[in-house]
Every structure is written in structure tokens, then in C-alpha cells.
């Protein structure tokens, strides 16, 4: 259910939040890899991206200076080196229904066209990874065939810096269908080619999962977890740096105290006894592992009816929890919240073996004076800065930790709520604060290693009254038969149900009137901009971002003349009308995700956390182009044409 996905995001946020410093100098460590071997490896790595996976043990011997040179030598930054590129199937409309096994990716490396690690993932209609026999929803499109919402995934660094030319690089079996050009603000262009019927595949495998034994391994990170509950993390450790393979996590906490229908009839739930997130299936590809998880609340040793599927994506140096905003998630959240009364929630992670680590997050980092501390140092004692961290309401766009052991953690926050933003105005009645404890004497149940060194997370109490009232006023339709947000928008735009929005509009107007009175938003244009700004923190699938933003903004401005009132039914109707006028199929809008990401760079780079954040919001972009060979290339025969 939605709550579980939020809590999983929070867990990752906590893991990242243990985080870092104003001093951008990296921790230096010495290695014992001879320079001549390093140079040989680097030349091999430039020619073949699978080289690192063939010599994973070498990371234990490499120095910080050699690792930096390897990343720069590939013409990548410390961010773009670990950045995965994903391209949806609708970028290749003429290849629809092509059998997936016929497609592969190649690039020019070392003056030769070679296969690179890639995968094509399929999804169900709600946006979860499609794994035959495990999804509750139907597959999106035809399984095992290339469809609009399939996703081609590969690493930016594996692209070639030269364009393919058969005369120079040699002819290859099969046919080159498309050229994918990658452009990065900090690096030279790269080129990747989508190929039909080439038998070669890269043997590189950047990440592997074993859900039966609770094990996850990538080239640079290892993790162990309870196979019955992935939130029960037993071991997380780097594979590089001076303390490789040393565990840095003690325990994860999720405690919920809530009234059920009555605030005096309280129930206490915790991660160890009541809340389980069980991995049920996995799509294990060479670039990422997508894990399908079933979350369920247990009470008095019995399962309750509160359960839902979600997924977690694991890459070589990042974890992503794509928390979905879809028709089914809103319906579940609505009914779940109906039972709660005055809930109190605490989510936290206890860390281990991180003495000397430096911690910060954006809201305190940017609010500090130029000469003031911008970080907390893990030493078992709370400093004035750490006390201020513990009193901060929201973290901002990022959290950062310098482990002081040769690796960093960076959490990119994509929740659509920012302090004093429009959506934040709907949370009145709910208190939220960051939790930070650096206290060697602070002991809790279920700890394996006593003390908070540090413990970081957040706490909340109460419920957002206005948001709850609005959710209870959503017009009643048969949402169970709707497979996408686009279908819901079309149904809700029907003028015949306009009156069903009255209570919803009234509940929203109470909030907007307060915002207008405060002077923050006083015109429809400002209201539309604020709405789009918060919504833009999420990723919508099915319609290009700029087109969708324009539909929302233009509809709000065209229909509503007072910033204190939105006629939601009329606004949705206008959105549908505008989409028809602009040739946009709004029914293609499937779902939205908050792609909260936990990155594990070896270093955020000389620009510090703010510059690393800039790179995360300005990542490499792609352009798909038809392949036009530089030498004569025969037309595809009817047998070689992609299936229609």
C-alpha cells in the first residue's frame, strides 16, 4: 500500500540521511595495486565495460587517487559514471511488437562495435515490474514483445564516444536500427545503437540478487536482509575503500502508534513484529535488479487485510523506490486512512562503524551562516548543529553523508512536498520533524550494537485534516475498472458529474483561502506555477513532461479566476479539451512515481553536495534517431523487418 512505499522511501532516506559535510575534500586512502597493473586495467576498461566485473576483487586494492583517475579517464563525473539511462518503448514506435530477444544494444569501444550491458524490462498496467505469475494487475502490452511502456536500461558510461561507421569499425551481424545519442552537461556526447538480430551479448553483470537467501551484490555494494522482510536489513557494506566489507547498519525502526476508529483505542505496530515487506519475485538483469515486494500488516500473529505490492530497483551504485501515484494507490490510501485516529510515526535507521562520518541535509546546509558549521560529526555527542538538525521540519531536496571511509551516500528527495510549497499547505494538522541522535548512551530494543551512532530518521504525528477531507470527497466512480490516471481524468472531466466535485472544491478552497491571505499566492498564474512546481518533482509516464505541465498550467489559468478557488471538474474538462486540440492522447497517462534515489558515489566531487544535486536534476539526456549508415546498407528484407 501507499503507506508502505512511503515508509520504504523513509528507510532509504534515513540510510542516506546519516550524511555529510561542508568540507568537500575527499577522504584519501592508499591502495596496494601497482601502477603498471592499474594502467593496464584502465586501458582495458576503456575498451570493454565488462572488464570491471571480471576483476571485482581489484577494487579492494585500488587507491582513492586511482579510482578518481579511472572515473575521469572514462570521461565521466562521479555522478555520470554511475548514472543509468532508461528509454521507454514509445520512443521507438516503428519497432512495436518486435520480439524482445531479437533486440540488443551495442557501442563503439576501442575502435570496435561491441555489445554493452542492457536489459529491456516490462511493466504491468499499474507501473510495477512485470514478472510472469506474480503481478496482481495485467501486463502492459504483450509480454515478451517490445511495447510502448517497456523500458530499455543501460549505463551512461557504457556508451561509445565515437559514432559507428561500418567502414572503420567493421560490419556486424544483424541490422543497426536506431542511434541513441547521449548528451551530458559535463561530458562529451556518447552513442549507443539498438540492433536487430545480433547474437552477441556482454557478459558484464553489475548487480545480482538472491531473494531466497536474502542477498544483494553489486560491483561496489553488498547487502544482506531477512528473506521474509526486506526492511530487516542485516548487513550493508562497501566493496571499495579502506574498510571494505565492514557493515555500517545496525537496525531499521518503524514504529506506529495509532487509534483505530477511536483515538483512545490505540494499537502499536513495529517493523520487527507487525510490518513485513516480503520479496516475492525478482527481475535480475545485468544493469538493475527490480524486486517485487508484498507489504502486509500483521497483528496478534495474524495477517490483516492491509496489503499491497510495490517494487524496489537496485543498481550498481544506487537504490530507487519508485513510489507510485496511481488510481489503485489513491483508493487504497483513502480507505487505510479512514481507520486511523491521531497516529504517531517514527522511522529511523541505526548506523554502525561510522565514527567520524559527517552529516548534513539541504535545509540546514543552506541556512547555516558562512562561518558556521554545516555538518554534524559522528562522535557519540550532540553538537549545537546536530541539535538544530533534530529540530528541522523537512530535509530539503537532498541528504548527504561523507563516511570518512572512502565512500559517500546521497539521497535525492522527490517527494512533492517542500516547505512552504503549495502541497505543504494541505498538511495542516500533521506535524513532521527530522530525527537525529548522536549519543553513545541512547539504547533501544532490537539493537545489535548499543547506542545511536548515529540514529537518523523522522517523526510525524496527526493527520492532514484538509487532505483527508478532500480524499473523502473525491467523486465516487468505478475506479476499479480504470487502469491509468489518464482514464480517471477523462472520466472525471465529464460535465454530468460536475456537482460531485462540490465538497472537494469546498475543502480545497479552505486551504487556498489561507494561502491567499498569507500573500504567498494571489493570482491564478501563481497558483498554476506553484501547482506545477510541486507536481514536477514526480515523474509522469505516458506523456512528455513539458506537454503535461503545459496542459495543467493552461487549464488552471483558463478556468479559474481567483487563486482561492479551483473548480476541479471544469479544470479537468479543460485539460481534456486542450489535449485534443494539441493532439495529445491523455489516456496514455499511466501513473506518476516519486523516484526517491539513494546514491552511493565514491565521492560527490569537488563541488560538494550542492553541485552533485545539480547533476542529479540535470542528468544526461537522450535523442533517438533512425540509423542512416555511412556506407551502402541493404534494405531490410521482409523477414528482417520488425514484427508489426
pLDDT in tens, 523-579: 999 999 999 999 999 989 889 999 999 999 999 999 999 999 999 999 999 999 999
Which pLDDT does position 170 carry in this prediction? 94
Highest mean pLDDT among 94-108, 289-303, 584-598: 94-108
Q: Which of 373, 348, 356 is nearest to 442 (CA)?
A: 348
Each residue's pLDDT tens digit, 566-586:
999 999 999 999 999 999 999
- The secondary structure of 611-629, three-state, reads HHHHHHHCCCEEEEEECCC
Cell 494571489 belongs to residue: 522
Q: What is the mean pLDDT of residues 333-361?
A: 83
- When mean pLDDT is compared across 200-204, 319-323, 361-365, the lowest value belongs to 319-323
| Backbone φ and ψ of 524, nearest 5° | -60, -35
Q: In whole angstroms, what is the distance from residue 118 CA to residue 192 CA?
A: 11
pLDDT-derived band at 371 (thresholds 50, 70, 90) equals: low
Cα–Cα distances (Å) from 96 to 63, 151, 160, 350, in that order, read 47, 13, 26, 48
The three cell numbers of residue 605 are 566531487
Q: Is residue 479 part of a domain?
A: no
Alpha carbons 119 and 423: distance in angstroms, whole number: 36
Task: Report the candidate in 447, 434, 450 with the shortest Cα–Cα distance to residue 19.
Answer: 434
pLDDT for res 406: 86
Pairwise pLDDT comparison (517 vs 57), residue with the higher score: 517
Residue 595 lies in a domain: no
- Per-residue pLDDT reduced to its tens digit, 234-265: 999 998 888 889 999 999 988 888 777 666 67
The DSSP element (H or E) to which 517 belongs, if any, is: helix 502-518
236 and 180 both lie in a single domain: yes
- Round the CA-based radius of gyration of the chain to a whole number and report it: 25
pLDDT digits (tens, 9 = 90+) for 481-498: 787 899 999 999 999 998
Backbone phi and psi for residue 85, each to the nearest 5 degrees, phi listed first: -95, 135
Count CA atoms within 13 Å of residue 382 on its CB side: 17
* Mean pLDDT (whole number) for 56-78: 86
Cell output for 399: 541528504
Residues 6+ apart with CB under 8 A from 492: 475, 477, 568, 569, 572
Running DSSP on this structure, what letter comes out for residue 91?
G
pLDDT over 70 at 329, yes or no: no
Per-residue pLDDT band for 633 (boundaries 50, 70, 90) equals very low
pLDDT at 330 over 80: no
- Same domain membership, residue 529 and residue 422: no
**Do residues 404 and 498 both lie within one domain?**
no
For residue 115, being part of any structural domain is answered with yes
Please indicate, yes or no, whether residues 501 and 457 belong to a single structural domain of this protein: no
Residue 278 and residue 308: Cα distance in Å, rounded? 11
Distance CA 228, CA 588 (A): 36
Total-model pTM? 0.89
With a CB cutoff of 8 Å and minimum separation 6, the contacts of 335 are none
* pLDDT exceeds 90 at position 509: yes
d(CA 405, CA 442) in angstroms, rounded, equals 24
Of 589, 618, 634, the residue at which a domain comes to its end is 589
**Residue 478 belongs to a domain:** no
Residue 443 has pLDDT above 70, yes or no: yes
Looking at the fold, whether 322 and 432 belong to one and the same domain comes out as yes
**Total residues belonging to the chain:** 644
- What phi and psi, each to the nearest 5 degrees, are found at residue 576? -65, -40
Inter-residue contact 147 to 131 (CB < 8 Å): no
Whether residue 623 sits in one domain with residue 493: no
- Residue 46 and residue 74 in contact, taking contact as beta carbons nearer than 8 Å: yes
Q: How far is CA 330 from CA 341, 369, 442, 505, in A?
A: 19, 41, 38, 18
158 part of a folded domain: yes
Q: How many domains does the chain have?
A: 2
- Same domain membership, residue 533 and residue 467: no
Distance from C-alpha of 106 to C-alpha of 95, rounded to nearest angstrom: 17
Q: List alpha helices for 280-417, DSSP H.
A: 327-338, 362-367, 384-389
SS3 content of the chain, % helix, strand, coil (to 5): 30, 30, 40
What does DSSP assign to residue 26? Answer: P
Last residue of a domain, one of 589, 617, 632: 589
User: How many other β-carbons are positioned within 10 Å of the β-carbon of residue 141?
Assistant: 20
Q: Does residue 148 carry a pLDDT above 90?
A: yes
Helix (H, G, I), strand (E, B) or coil at 610: helix
Residue 420 domain flag: yes
558 plus 619 within the same structural domain: no
Q: Does residue 596 lie within any of the structural domains?
A: no
Residue 269's pLDDT band (cuts 50, 70, 90): confident
pLDDT classification of 436: cutoffs 50, 70, 90: very high
In DSSP terms, 87 is beta-bridged to: 152
Of 238, 604, 613, 615, which is closest to residue 408 (Cα–Cα)? 604
Instruction: Label residue 480 exposed, middle or buried (CB < 10 Å: 0-12, 13-18, 19+).
Output: exposed
**Statement: residue 641 has pLDDT above 70:** no
- Residue 237 pairs in a beta bridge with 222
User: Alpha-carbon distance 310 to 331, whole Å?
Assistant: 15
Q: What is the pLDDT of residue 630?
A: 55
My answer on whether omega of the bond before 454 falls inside 30° of 0, hence cis, is yes
Distance CA 442, CA 348 (A): 13
Does 630 lie in the same domain as 580? no
Other CB atoms within a 10 A radius of the CB of residue 579 amount to 24
Give yes or no: residues 625 and 582 share one domain.
no
Cα 251 from Cα 69, distance rounded (Å): 35
Please report, in angstroms and rounded to a whole number, the separation of the first and last CA atoms in the chain. Answer: 37
Average pLDDT over residues 200-228: 95
Cell match 565512500: residue? 407
- Rounded Cα distance between 389 and 410, Å, is 17
Contact between 403 and 246 (Cβ < 8 Å): no
Most confidently modeled range among 194-208, 321-335, 410-424, 449-463: 194-208
CA distances from 523 to 505, 508, 515, 520, 563 (A): 17, 16, 11, 10, 5
Domain that holds residue 276: 1-472+601-644
Question: Percentage of the chain with pLDDT > 70?
Answer: 89
- The residues, any chain, with a CB within 8 Å of residue 633's CB and separated by 6 or more, are 166, 175, 176
pLDDT above 50: residue 21? no
Question: Do residues 515 and 607 share a domain?
Answer: no
Residues 6+ apart with CB under 8 A from 173: 197, 198, 199, 200
**pLDDT at 333 > cutoff 70:** no
Report the Cα 643 to chain-centroid distance in Å.
33
pLDDT of amino acid 288: 97
Q: What span, in angstroms and rounded, lies between the C-alpha atoms of 560 and 19?
A: 43
pLDDT at 408 (0 to 100): 93
What count of other Cβ atoms lies within 10 Å of the Cβ of residue 367?
12
Q: Which residues contact 524 (CB under 8 A, 6 or more apart)?
A: 556, 557, 560, 561, 562, 563
Q: Cβ distance 215 to 296 under 8 Å?
A: no
**Closest among 25, 58, 8 to 607, alpha carbons compared:** 25
Are residues 85 and 6 both part of a single domain? yes
Distance (Å, whole) CA 466 – CA 30: 56
Element (H, E) at 539: strand 539-541
In a domain, 67, yes or no: yes
Q: What is the pLDDT of residue 11?
A: 42
Residue 637 has pLDDT above 80, yes or no: no
CA distance 578 to 500: 22
Which residues have a Cβ under 8 Å from the Cβ of 305 and sit 6 or more positions away? Answer: none
Cα(180)–Cα(191) distance, integer angstroms: 6
Amino acid at each position: 500500500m501507499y503507506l508502505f512505499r512511503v515508509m520504504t522511501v523513509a528507510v532509504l532516506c534515513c540510510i542516506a540521511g546519516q550524511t555529510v559535510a561542508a568540507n568537500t575534500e575527499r577522504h584519501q586512502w592508499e591502495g596496494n595495486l601497482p601502477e603498471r597493473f592499474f594502467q593496464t586495467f584502465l586501458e582495458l576498461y576503456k575498451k570493454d565495460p565488462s572488464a570491471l566485473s571480471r576483476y571485482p576483487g581489484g577494487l579492494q586494492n585500488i587507491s582513492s587517487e586511482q579510482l578518481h583517475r579511472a572515473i575521469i579517464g572514462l570521461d565521466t563525473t562521479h555522478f555520470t559514471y554511475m548514472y543509468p539511462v532508461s528509454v521507454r518503448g514509445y520512443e521507438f514506435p516503428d519497432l512495436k511488437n518486435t520480439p524482445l530477444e531479437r533486440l540488443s544494444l551495442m557501442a563503439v569501444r576501442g575502435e570496435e562495435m561491441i555489445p554493452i550491458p542492457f536489459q529491456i524490462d516490462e511493466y504491468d498496467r499499474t507501473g510495477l515490474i512485470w514478472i510472469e505469475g506474480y503481478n496482481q494487475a495485467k501486463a502492459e502490452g504483450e509480454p515478451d514483445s517490445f511495447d510502448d511502456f517497456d523500458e530499455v536500461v543501460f549505463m551512461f558510461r557504457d556508451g561509445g564516444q565515437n559514432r559507428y561507421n561500418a567502414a572503420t569499425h567493421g560490419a556486424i551481424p544483424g541490422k543497426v536500427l536506431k542511434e541513441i545519442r547521449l548528451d551530458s552537461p559535463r561530458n562529451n556526447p556518447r552513442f549507443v545503437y539498438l540492433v536487430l538480430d545480433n547474437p552477441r551479448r556482454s557478459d558484464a553483470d553489475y548487480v545480482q540478487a538472491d531473494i531466497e537467501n536474502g542477498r544483494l551484490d553489486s560491483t561496489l555494494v553488498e547487502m544482506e536482509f531477512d528473506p521474509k522482510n526486506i526492511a530487516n536489513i542485516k548487513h550493508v557494506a562497501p566493496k571499495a575503500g579502506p574498510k571494505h566489507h565492514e557493515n555500517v547498519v545496525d537496525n531499521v525502526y518503524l514504529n506506529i502508534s495509532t487509534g483505530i476508529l477511536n483515538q483512545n483505542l490505540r494499537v502499536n505496530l513495529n517493523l520487527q513484529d507487525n510490518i513485513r515487506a516480503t520479496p516475492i519475485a525478482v527481475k535480475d538483469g545485468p544493469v538493475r535488479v527490480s524486486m517485487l515486494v508484498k507489504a502486509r500488516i500483521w497483528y496478534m500473529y495474524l495477517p490483516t487485510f492491509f496489503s499491497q505490492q510495490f517494487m524496489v530497483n537496485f543498481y550498481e551504485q544506487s537504490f530507487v523506490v519508485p513510489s507510485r501515484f496511481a488510481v489503485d494507490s489513491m483508493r487504497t490510501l483513502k480507505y487505510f486512512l479512514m481507520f486511523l485516529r491521531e497516529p504517531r510515526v517514527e522511522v529511523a535507521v541505526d548506523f554502525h562503524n561510522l565514527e567520524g562520518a559527517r552529516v548534513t541535509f539541504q535545509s540546514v546546509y543552506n541556512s547555516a551562516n558562512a562561518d558556521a558549521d554545516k555538518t554534524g560529526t559522528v562522535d557519540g555527542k550532540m553538537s549545537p548543529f546536530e541539535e538544530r538538525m533534530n529540530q528541522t521540519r523537512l530535509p530539503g531536496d537532498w541528504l548527504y553523508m561523507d563516511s570518512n571511509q572512502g565512500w559517500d551516500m546521497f539521497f535525492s528527495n522527490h517527494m512533492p512536498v517542500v516547505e512552504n510549497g503549495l502541497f505543504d499547505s494541505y498538511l495542516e494538522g500533521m506535524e513532521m520533524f527530522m530525527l537525529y541522535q548522536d549519543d553513545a548512551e541512547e539504547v533501544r530494543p532490537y539493537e545489535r550494537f548499543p547506542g545511536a551512532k548515529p540514529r537518523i530518521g523522522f517523526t510525524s504525528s496527526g493527520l492532514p485534516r484538509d487532505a483527508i477531507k478532500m480524499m473523502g470527497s473525491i467523486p465516487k466512480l468505478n475506479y476499479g475498472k480504470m487502469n491509468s490516471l489518464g482514464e480517471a481524468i477523462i472520466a472525471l472531466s465529464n460535465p454530468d458529474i460536475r456537482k460531485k466535485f462540490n465538497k472537494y472544491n469546498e475543502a480545497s478552497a479552505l486551504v487556498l483561502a489561507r494561502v491567499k491571505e498569507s500573500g504567498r499566492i494571489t493570482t491564478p498564474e501563481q497558483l498554476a506555477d506553484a501547482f506545477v512546481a510541486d507536481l514536477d518533482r514526480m515523474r509522469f509516464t505516458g506523456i512528455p513532461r513539458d506537454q503535461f505541465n503545459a496542459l495543467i498550467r493552461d487549464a488552471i489559468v483558463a478556468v479559474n479566476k481567483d487563486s482561492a478557488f479551483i473548480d476541479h471538474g471544469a479544470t479537468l474538462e479543460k485539460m481534456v479539451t486542450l489535449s485534443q486540440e494539441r493532439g495529445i492522447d491523455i489516456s496514455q497517462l499511466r501513473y506518476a512515481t516519486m523516484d526517491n534515489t539513494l546514491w552511493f558515489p565514491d565521492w560527490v566531487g569537488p563541488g560538494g553536495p550542492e553541485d552533485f544535486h545539480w547533476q542529479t536534476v540535470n542528468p544526461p539526456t537522450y535523442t533517438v534517431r533512425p540509423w542512416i549508415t555511412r556506407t551502402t546498407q541493404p534494405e531490410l528484407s521482409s523477414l528482417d523487418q520488425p514484427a508489426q
